[in-house]
Amino acid sequence: MPADPSTSDLARQTAPAAVERLVRYARVDTQADPASATVPSTARQLDLSRLLVEELRALGLSDAVLDEQGFVMATLPATVDHEVPTIALLAHVDVAPDAPAAGVRPQVVRYPGGRMPLPGDPSVALDPAVSPALAGRAGQELVTSDGTTLLGADDKAGIAEIMTAVAHLVRHPEIPHGPVRVCFTRDEEVGRGVEGIDLARLGAQAAYTLDGADAGTIEDETFNARSASVTFRGVAVHPGYATGRLVNALKVAADFVASLPRDGRAPETTAGREGFIHPVAMRSAEDTAQVDLILRDFDRDRLDGHERLVRDLAARAAAAHPGSSAEVAVADSYRNMKEYLREHPGVVARAEEAIRRAGLEPRRGFIRGGTDGARLSELGLPTPNLFTGQQDIHSRHEWIAAADMGAAVATLIHLVQIWAEPASPAA
Ligand SMILES: [Zn+2]
């Protein structure tokens, strides 16, 4: 749902500063590199991290540091005397490797409605036919790239919103809140966003990633994820003398792949809360063939069902080729973070109340994938994902509405206050 620019004074008041920060941060090239083994994967990410440390210190967060692992951490001290849990706000400095990201030239424009070509490459446009979230946005202020690069609102919008909320709270010490830890991560886009994070150093009892999309949304669910590897063994014999003896593992593996579900339980035919079985790689010779798959489902029993089906189909393929065998190895990748967040209902409930006070109707969302918050939740730090307003991410027509950025800032300012309220929802 687009944030109605009139819903919250606080949102309207803070949006311009959030936009100004996003435009500034977007110009810094922070693209991650999945092929790199260094930490972080690209040194350029730290250009923004260092800038953020300086800005946090200038705001008065004097303990701001960039640690050895590339995490920015800083504390906004409490303004109340009573005991309040420490919460952390997280966003990631890196941008996706899927689109050009060097030399980003952001523009702030009033969206006229309809198809709006971007100035650096008019073949690239914001188009409601491609991007349904543009519906009802005519007249709103949007931030886009010039069309030659991505914008990087994923996740510099999250960073800009956290920084703007912190700046507002610094300027308004009369607003009651507990200790707030700010943490800017790196390499989220290459799946290593919280690898090496020191949770004791972060020192929070609950956390929120700001990396979601539609205004008013809080995501507290991810897939349960497993990987499976099926190894078929055949019998290799010189093909000139193979009669009655050769068992070609490649053919066994091909039969197995062909037997996998298609009209459901496949990523290309499922949506919403449906899970899937997805073959991702096959390596094969005559005597041995290996098929790698990923299994995903929001429900653990259904995920078990996907695993049983893989084992069953592998055994059937081998049985159809006497002399061959199938071996299945399965490993857990990550779990639905709802399993952990369920034990801390107050973390999501407080965010929903904050969204309401920011003038929006909260909506629960789910992620058809993983998130850094899922890993943090599993490690014991409950961490749902809050909206930022980012849209059409990882593309040259990425955009974000100023009103949604203001709504996110207002949500954060309400959120820290709700955590300091004695009568807040049951934790
Ligand atoms: Zn992101």
Task: State the distance from the centre of ligand 1 to the C-alpha of 198, rounded, in angstroms.
Answer: 20
pLDDT at residue 333, rounded to an integer: 87
Task: Find the 141 Cα to ligand 1 centroid distance in Å.
Answer: 22
| Phi, psi of 128, deg, nearest 5 | -60, -20
Quick: pLDDT tens for 213-272. 999 999 999 999 999 999 999 999 999 999 999 999 999 999 999 999 999 999 999 999
- Encode pLDDT of 51-95 as tens digits: 999 999 999 999 999 999 999 999 999 999 999 999 999 999 999
Q: What is the mean pLDDT of residues 126-132?
A: 96
Q: Give a yes or no: residue 297 inside a domain.
A: yes
Mean pLDDT of 23-47: 97
Q: Is 3's pLDDT higher than 60?
A: no
Distance between CA atoms of residues 185 and 187, nearest Å: 7
Are 371 and 275 in the same domain? no
144 part of a folded domain:
yes
Q: How confident is the model at residue 8 (pLDDT cuts 50, 70, 90)?
A: confident
Residue at a domain's end among 275, 305, 334 = 334
Q: How far is the CA of 174 from the centre of ligand 1 (A)?
A: 33
Same domain, 290 and 384: no
Higher pLDDT, 422 or 361: 361
Looking at the fold, whether 181 and 233 belong to one and the same domain comes out as: no
Tell me if 389 is assigned to some domain.
yes
Residues 90 and 173 in one domain: yes
User: Residue 7: which pLDDT band, with cuts at 50, 70 and 90?
Assistant: low
CA 324 – CA 317 distance, rounded (Å): 9
Expressed in angstroms and rounded, the spacing between residue 420 Cα and the centre of ligand 1 is 28
- Asked if residue 349 belongs to a domain, the reply is yes
Residue that terminates a domain, selected from 334, 364, 399: 334
pLDDT surpasses 70 at 5:
no
373 part of a folded domain: yes
Burial (Cβ within 10 Å: 0-12, 13-18, ≥19) of residue 282: middle
Whether the per-residue pLDDT at 383 is higher than 50: the answer is: yes
Residue 157 has pLDDT above 70, yes or no: yes
Residue 70 is which amino acid? Answer: G
Number of domains in the chain: 2
Same domain assignment for residues 144 and 156: yes
0.85 surpassed by pTM:
yes
Region 193-211: mean pLDDT is 97
pLDDT at residue 248, rounded to an integer: 96
Instruction: Name the domain boundary from 314, 334, 354.
Output: 334
Residues 205 and 282 both lie in one domain: no
Which residues have a Cβ under 8 Å from the Cβ of 46 and sit 6 or more positions away?
40, 66, 70, 186
- Beta bridge partners of residue 92, listed in sequence order: 185
Q: Nearest-CA neighbor of 50 among 203, 186, 190?
A: 186
Same domain membership, residue 324 and residue 304: yes
Residue 286: its pLDDT value, please? 83
Q: Above 90 in pLDDT, residue 6?
A: no
The reply to whether 112 and 188 lie within a common domain is yes
For 282-340, how does the pLDDT look when each residue is reduced to its tens digit (9 = 90+)? 999 889 999 999 999 999 999 999 999 999 999 999 999 999 999 999 999 889 999 99
Is the distance from CB of 387 to CB of 404 less than 8 angstroms?
yes
Assess whether 211 and 237 both reside in one domain: no
DSSP-assigned beta bridge partners for residue 185: 92
207 CA → ligand 1 middle, Å: 16
* 426 found inside a domain: no
Is position 341 within any domain? yes
Q: Identify the band that residue 2 occupies on the pLDDT scale cut at 50, 70 and 90.
A: low
DSSP per position, 215-263: TTEEEEEE-EEEEEEEEEE-B---GGG-TTT-B-HHHHHHHHHHHS--S
Rg (CA), the chain: 24
CATH number of the domain at 94, please. 3.40.630.10
CATH number at residue 328: 3.30.70.360
Active-site annotation, residues = 94, 188
Domain boundaries, position 62: 9-222+337-420
**121 shares its domain with 203:** yes
42 CB-near residues (< 8 Å, 6+ apart): 30, 31, 32, 33, 36, 94
Residue 427 lies in a domain: no
Question: What is the average per-residue pLDDT within 395-421?
Answer: 97
| Residue 377 and residue 318 in one domain | no
Computed over every residue of the chain, the mean pLDDT equals 95
Are residues 78 and 147 located together in one domain of the fold?
Answer: yes
